[in-house]
């Protein structure tokens, strides 16, 4: 099968299209023909050699977000059958091999694709949506009436987090450039803050939960503590809890939690329901053919995309 393989760490140019052996489904696994594969920051970080433990062995096929069609089921699989349209974030944070024509993974890591979406849009969802969902629901336990601050709200995870927080009944405060504010309000943001024009901590009142999708590079994490009420929670997604964040949080009586997403087909099923009901939509910035994975990484790393980048995988 065709796949984009990573044979050495480096810039986008190390992503090369080649042929590798098609995987075989083990017992309990399904073989899925990938129609589209989402691109995420963890992809280019791993490509650059900044991958987390377990992602440093080469060669490697990147890609965790997949939408496709079940081609074959392994022994003992009873809940999926060939022809079923599915989407998933299999294996994360172990290699899943999404930038390829086929992937195999345990059947219970797959959920039914939202029927109202094509494969490109569906492939934009899993990692970003599960990150937002598991951070807001499972980690922060957001409930109706809470105030939730989402940093980088216009990004892949952020725009889904805004919608989920709204769905949970929270009051949503979103930071983003001014040009994204109208769109974020459409998605459900109650307050929008242009972080390039003013300090967010001076622009809003106390919040219960901060979903920090930016991290510590510009002190966003530490500054977030100052807007969080005592007993509230800062969920630090990209880099974990820095010593500076831990210190500030402890001094203020605020909790701070590192967070990393895991496969979760039950949540994907719930999310598919929200999409089908029109309560959640996903923004795809651009779809490129699998062969242009390097270009997708270049664009993603430029940090100037609004929605998600997706690779389309066409058979040939």
Q: Which residues bind its own copies (CB under 8 A)?
A: 26-28, 52-54, 75-79, 92-94, 106-108, 134, 138-139, 235, 240, 257-264, 266
| Token pair of 69 as six digits | 């069609």
Q: Which is nearer to its own copies, 51 or 158 (CB)?
A: 51
Minimum distance of its own copies from residue 121's CB (angstroms): 25
Q: Are 65 and 32 in contact (CB under 8 A)?
A: no
Q: Which is nearer to its own copies, 106 or 307 (CB)?
A: 106
Minimum distance of its own copies from residue 315's CB (angstroms): 26
Minimum distance of its own copies from residue 280's CB (angstroms): 21
Minimum distance of its own copies from residue 134's CB (angstroms): 8
Q: Which is nearer to its own copies, 52 or 277 (CB)?
A: 52
Q: Which is nearer to its own copies, 56 or 314 (CB)?
A: 56
Q: Which is nearer to its own copies, 19 or 94 (CB)?
A: 94
Minimum distance of its own copies from residue 138's CB (angstroms): 6
Q: Which is nearer to its own copies, 14 or 258 (CB)?
A: 258
Minimum distance of its own copies from residue 52's CB (angstroms): 5
């Amino acid at each position: 099968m065709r796949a984009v393989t990573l044979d050495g760490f480096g810039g986008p140019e190390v992503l090369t299209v080649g042929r590798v052996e098609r995987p075989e489904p083990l017992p309990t696994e399904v073989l899925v023909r990938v129609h589209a594969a989402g691109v995420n920051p963890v992809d280019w970080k791993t490509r650059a050699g900044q991958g987390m433990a377990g992602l440093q062995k080469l060669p490697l096929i990147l890609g965790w977000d997949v939408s496709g069609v079940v081609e074959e089921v392994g022994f003992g699989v009873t809940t999926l059958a060939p022809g079923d349209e599915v989407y998933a974030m299999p294996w994360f944070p172990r290699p899943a091999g999404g930038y390829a024509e086929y992937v195999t993974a345990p059947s219970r890591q797959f959920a039914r694709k939202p029927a109202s979406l094509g494969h490109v849009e569906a492939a934009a969802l899993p990692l970003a949506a599960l990150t937002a969902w598991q951070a807001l629901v499972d980690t922060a336990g957001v409930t109706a009436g809470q105030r939730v601050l989402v940093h980088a709200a216009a990004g892949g995870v952020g725009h889904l987090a805004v919608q989920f927080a709204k769905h949970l009944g929270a009051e949503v405060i979103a930071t983003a450039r001014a040009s994204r504010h109208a769109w974020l309000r459409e998605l459900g943001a109650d307050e929008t803050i242009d972080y390039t024009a003013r300090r967010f901590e001076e622009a809003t009142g106390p919040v219960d939960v901060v979903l920090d999708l930016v991290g510590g590079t510009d002190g966003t994490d530490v500054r977030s503590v100052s807007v969080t009420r005592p007993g509230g929670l800062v969920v630090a997604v990209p880099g974990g809890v820095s010593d500076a964040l831990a210190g500030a949080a402890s001094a203020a009586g605020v909790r701070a939690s590192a967070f990393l997403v895991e496969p979760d087909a039950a949540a994907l099923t719930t999310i598919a329901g929200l999409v089908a009901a029109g309560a959640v939509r996903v923004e795809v910035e651009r779809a490129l053919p699998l062969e242009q994975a390097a270009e997708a990484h270049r664009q993603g790393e430029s940090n100037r995309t609004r929605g998600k980048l997706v690779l389309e995988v066409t058979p040939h």
